[in-house]
Amino acid sequence: MSISLKDTKKKKNPNKKKIEKKEPIKPMKKKDAIEQPELTPDQVEALQEGEPNAMAQQQINPMIIPDFFNNIRNNYYVANKIIWIAGFIEWNLIIEAMRRLNFYDDGTKDPITLYVASPGGECDAGWALIDMMEKIKKHGVEIRTVCAGSCSSMAALILAAGSKGSRYAFPSSRIMIHQAGIELTGGKLDDIANTTKELQYWTDISAKYLAKITKKPVKDIEKELCYDNYMSASEAKKFGIIDKIDVFMA
Which residues belong to the active site?
153, 178
State how far the Cα of 239 lies from the Cα of 214, in Å rounded to an integer: 7
For CA atoms 54, 58, 62, 64, the dihedral sign is negative
Strand partners, 118: 151
State how far the Cα of 210 lies from the Cα of 200, in Å rounded to an integer: 15
For CA atoms 213, 218, 221, 226, the dihedral sign is positive
| Distances in whole angstroms, Cα of residue 74 to Cα of each of 82, 130, 143, 145, 249 | 9, 24, 19, 19, 16
State how far the Cα of 136 lies from the Cα of 114, in Å rounded to an integer: 13
Contact 181, 191 (CB under 8 A): no
Give the Cβ contact number of residue 85 at 10 Å.
23
State how far the Cα of 191 lies from the Cα of 182, in Å rounded to an integer: 13
